Amino acid sequence: MSKGNLLSVREDVQVLDATLRDGGLCNDFFFTDEFVRDLYNNNLEAGVDYMEFGYKASKKMFSPEKFGKWKFCDDEDIRSIVGDNDTEMKIAVMADVGRCDYKRDIRPREESPVDMVRIATYIDTIRHATAMIDHCHKMGYETAINIMAVSKNRTEDIRAALDIFGQTPVDVIYLVDSYGSFYPEQIRDFTQLYLEYAEKYDKKLGIHSHNNQSLAFANTIDALKEGVSFLDCTVMGMGRGAGNCRSELLLGFLKNPKYMVEPIFDQIQNHMVKLKQDGVRWGFDIPYILTGQRNSHPRTAIEFIKQGRTDYNNLRLELLDME
């Protein structure tokens, strides 16, 4: 079932940088404008296809004083960085079911620099998600649906969800490994499952991985090999907890000459190294192995690391107690 070999160029591949969005979960979205502008320019030079600027969160639910502007992604804030974005790279934002006032905040595409809205949902709220897809589609946007935490769901329910989303106008369906618990052979199997519906309904597939078990890159390129097109990555893997698939690994792997890894290293040496030095925390660490192996939300591991603890076997017992 392999799609291509290690030297193939697959024209369907789309690289999506989610550094501001998933990375923003590590610093409450307080990125400097210089960081964001350089990231935009570096992604552009690197050949990245989509750049996700952050969340489209409701300002009624979340205080703009407690979060940086990329939690809200006002059109004018994006415009202050990208102007009219007269480039090949598209702009994405994420809208969470239950955290977004989408009817008010997601306005017609012709008034916005945004090209794609990615809708994130758990499986029990998919009817809210389909309503959001319909709205965003009517507003003229490309749409993607990220069904989160499927590692906790039954296969029958995932099939039902895929069948429902297949019948919406959504463009891309994402396989999301929220807890970094999937092994490559599971990712290959899941990709085949998702492909059944993608082919039936003529949808594209995406993969969003987490690095809890040090498998984010492996899972991404295995999903690619099986037929996934949209590949999420973040610079230096910046993202919640153990973080995501690293842009520098992914872009160094892809063979299409449009992709360049140098600008990503520029972003790292000019910005990411400093973020780390300033104490912003993300990336693979031992506690995430434990939550990943147990298919648990990483919050327990994040807290454990924050407290400077290294009594890993106690964490292991605490996680068992939580089940």
**What is the closest distance, in whole angstroms, from the C-beta atom of residue 109 to a copy of itself in the complex?**
36
Q: Does 284 bind a copy of itself (CB under 8 A)?
A: yes
DSSP designation for 269: I
The span from the CA of 143 to the CA of 134, in Å, is 9
Q: How far is the CB of 301 from a copy of itself (least distance, A)?
A: 13
From residue 116, give the alpha-carbon distance in Å to each of 198, 213, 306. 19, 30, 34
Which residues, 2 to 31, sit near a copy of itself by CB under 8 A? 2, 5-6
With CA atoms as reference, report the closest residue to 54 among 104, 108, 105.
105
Does 253 engage in binding with a copy of itself (CB under 8 A)? Answer: yes
**Structure-block tokens of residue 179:** 């807890």
Whole-angstrom Cα Rg for the chain? 19
From candidates 140, 166, 169, 252, binder to a copy of itself by CB under 8 A:
252
Q: How far is the CB of 252 from a copy of itself (least distance, A)?
A: 5
CB of 95 to a copy of itself, least distance (A): 31
* Amino acid identity, position 270: N
Q: Is 321 in the site for a copy of itself (CB under 8 A)?
A: no
Nearest CB to a copy of itself, comparing residues 55 and 284: 284
Residues with Cβ within 8 Å of residue 11, at least 6 apart in sequence: none
What type of residue sits at position 181? S
Query: What residues between 147 and 206 interact with a copy of itself by CB under 8 A?
Result: 183-186
Structure tokens at 295: 């298919």
> Based on CB atoms, which residue is closest to a copy of itself, 2 or 63?
2
Are 241 and 282 in contact by the 8 Å Cβ rule? The answer is: yes
Q: Give the one residue of 145, 268, 275, 302 binding a copy of itself; rule: CB under 8 A.
A: 268
Q: Give dist(CA 145, CA 147) in Å, integer.
A: 6
Q: Which residues contact 267 (CB under 8 A, 6 or more apart)?
A: 38, 39, 42, 235
Query: Which range touches a copy of itself (CB under 8 A), out of 32-40, 106-114, 155-163, 285-293?
Result: 285-293
Q: Does 52 bind a copy of itself (CB under 8 A)?
A: no
Q: How far is Cα 237 from Cα 18, in angstroms, rounded to an integer?
A: 9
User: Nearest distance from residue 269's CB to a copy of itself, in Å?
Assistant: 5
Look at residues 68, 74, 59, 78 and name the one whose alpha carbon lies nearest to residue 25: 68
Q: Which residue, 9 or 61, is less far from a copy of itself as judged by CB?
A: 9
When asked if residue 131 is in the footprint of a copy of itself (CB under 8 A), the reply is no
Task: List residues binding a copy of itself (CB under 8 A).
Answer: 2, 5-6, 183-186, 211, 213-219, 221-222, 225, 236, 246, 248-249, 252-253, 261-262, 265-266, 268-269, 273, 284, 286, 289-290, 293, 310-313, 316
